[in-house]
Copies of this chain bind each other. A is one copy, B any other.
């Protein structure tokens, strides 16, 4: 096994653990900042280290199209290409390809689609995704799955989920690496029996960890939590569990409460570029006129670089003036906020106080 998970403590359903990778051992539960195109938008690796980022996610779909996996291999792999010294996880390209809608065609063999960059025809399959991910050489690769649209009927979901299991097997058969682990992805849409079946199929293949895909795709949060309740129990305790594409504080805490160890989401960096700062009590849009003369930080008591050094008034000025530093400063704050939130959650699991942490969170948080 290239990737190993060590369970350190449990508190209710929540877990604290360690994830061992070829680029170091990292603490879970964790949030992984997203570096879609081999860069976490606007930031340097050092800025991410400073805020405590451990594993980042990069996108196979995007790198496959540009600059191409061969170039990244020639550069010495994704770590060297982008100057990132900690761990990287690459998704499989499945989610992006299926998001293309009518621009793609699915067969048992794989998916034909048109590049969003130049319109050229491209093909991804379990084998191609493995070849690309091995070239990128992230610490963790993900199996190539179909991310089922929401809503989808039972029959479509059943057939797709079965194909995802067959594709997972093909990924396993074609993945060969001493420096990269492979996680399977559980699908099954919003049907608990299909989630259970998908989990059983994948666990039987003995992956090094398990992603839970196809959630946070438009369903209500209550449905998502319910599906998690119906999925996690079928995953092995001794492997890492990764809820894909989830990254708002409420979903992170409820995911951890249900035994999730890893998360990723573009949310904190995407909303940052619109001026939206995440705080423990909800979101704040620093572009609002009310902050023009607000000489306090984005969030009182926050220890991030931005909050230690800049005021809302200044950051608002940068947004009004369309200065790129604005995007950096709020991206730093939002990622620090989430990474720190995960650290505090982890501490509470280790201390046996997660239930109180969760209760306190819900007493303060306004969803916006």
Contact = CB atoms under 8 A, between A and B. Distances in A.
A307 to B, nearest CB: 12
A348 B39 CA distance: 40
**How often does this chain occur in the complex, in copies?**
2
Contacts of A66: 317, 320-321
Given A292-B67, A320-B66, A75 B41 contact: no
Nearest to A76: B295
Contacts of A287: none
B38 A317 contact: yes
Contacts of A293: 71, 74
A284 interface: no
A44 B43 CA distance: 11
Contact of A324 (B67, B309, B324): B324
Nearest to A74: B293
Contacts of A81: 311, 313-314, 317
A125 B171 CA distance: 72
Interface in A306-322: 309-311, 313-314, 317-318, 320-321
A109 interface: no
A311 B75 contact: yes
Nearest to A331: B324
Contacts of A317: 37-38, 66-67, 71, 81
Given A314-B83, A317-B38, A318-B39, A74 B295 contact: yes
Interface in A61-115: 62, 66-67, 71, 74-76, 81-83
Contacts of A328: 42, 44, 324
A295 B75 contact: yes
Interface of A: 37-39, 41-44, 62, 66-67, 71, 74-76, 81-83, 292-293, 295, 309-311, 313-314, 317-318, 320-321, 323-325, 327-328
A41 B321 contact: no
Contacts of A83: 309-310, 314
Chain A at the B interface: mostly helix, strand, loop or mixed?
loop
A313 B41 contact: no
Nearest to A81: B314
Given A66-B321, A82-B314, A321-B66, A71 B41 contact: no
B42 A313 contact: no
A269 to B, nearest CB: 11
Contact of A39 (B38, B76, B292, B325): B325
Nearest to A295: B75
17 contacts: A37-B317, A37-B318, A38-B314, A39-B318, A39-B321, A41-B324, A42-B324, A42-B325, A42-B328, A43-B325, A66-B321, A67-B292, A67-B313, A67-B317, A71-B292, A71-B313, A324-B328
Nearest to A62: B321
A320 B311 CA distance: 33
A17 to B, nearest CB: 31
A324 to B, nearest CB: 5
A278 B295 CA distance: 38
A324 B43 CA distance: 8
A298 to B, nearest CB: 14
Contacts of A41: 323-325
Contacts of A67: 292, 313, 317, 320
Contacts of A309: 83
A42 B331 CA distance: 13
Which of A62, A83, A295, A317 counts the most chain B CB atoms within 10 A?
A317
